[in-house]
Structure 1
């Protein structure tokens, strides 16, 4: 039979392991990945839909040689995307609605974010 102090330490250790292993699934939602490309003609897709009330990760891939800047005044983001690279942009949580974004280095290149 194990001494009482050994049982308590093992029980405490087991509880801590269960809590730490279960932590990522309890209350912490994994970021959803969305994809957006910057091409010569503009953003692809031009309109991106994301869920309301959730933080999402948008992978912005710049297919151009020159850098672009993914920017929005509506949901406050500003991220330079060097040519030929992909960068993660975290958005939200946002309320339902429509938001605009653009390439600050070519402001005629615009897109829409639909939050549902």
Structure 2
């Protein structure tokens, strides 16, 4: 039987290793899906201070353009296509985005949460 103190020590070591990996400058990946001219999810929380890699899948039969003045990005995605791009690192705050070709329904926001 493993002593309780050993189990707690191992748990703490894995937790610290995970925190270090999350803060090593590698992008945090956010998966967004476009369907029926709407983003899913339409609100995403991410850690502030890290680059964010957005993986966008368009399930619609129409093209769309991911557009955000807040994030300073415009990215086209073809019908039934995929696009990926990196933004940030972001300061704490809320960053709006939209599908420029269907702005009446395709919108969302990324919330960068600080420590």
TM-score (norm 1): 0.72
Match of 1:68 in 2: 64
Q: Which residues in structure 2 correspond to 1:51-90 (within 5 Å)?
A: 51-90=47-86
Match of 1:97 in 2: 93
- Give the direction of change, closer, same or farther, for the CA distance of 1:115–1:35 in structure 2 (3 Å limit): same
What's the C-alpha RMSD, in Å, of the aligned pairs? Answer: 1.8
Q: Which runs of 5+ in 1 are unaligned?
A: 1-24
Any conservation in 1 of the 2:37–2:102 contact (CA below 8 Å)?
no
Q: Which has the larger radius of gyration?
A: 1
**TM superposition shift of 1:40:** 0.4
Q: Which runs of 5+ in 2 are unaligned?
A: 1-20
Segments ≥4 residues shifted beyond 3 Å = none
- Whether 1:43 aligns to 2:39 is yes
TM-score (norm 2): 0.73
Any conservation in 1 of the 2:98–2:108 contact (CA below 8 Å)?
yes
- Whether 1:33 aligns to 2:21 is no
**TM superposition shift of 1:103:** 0.4
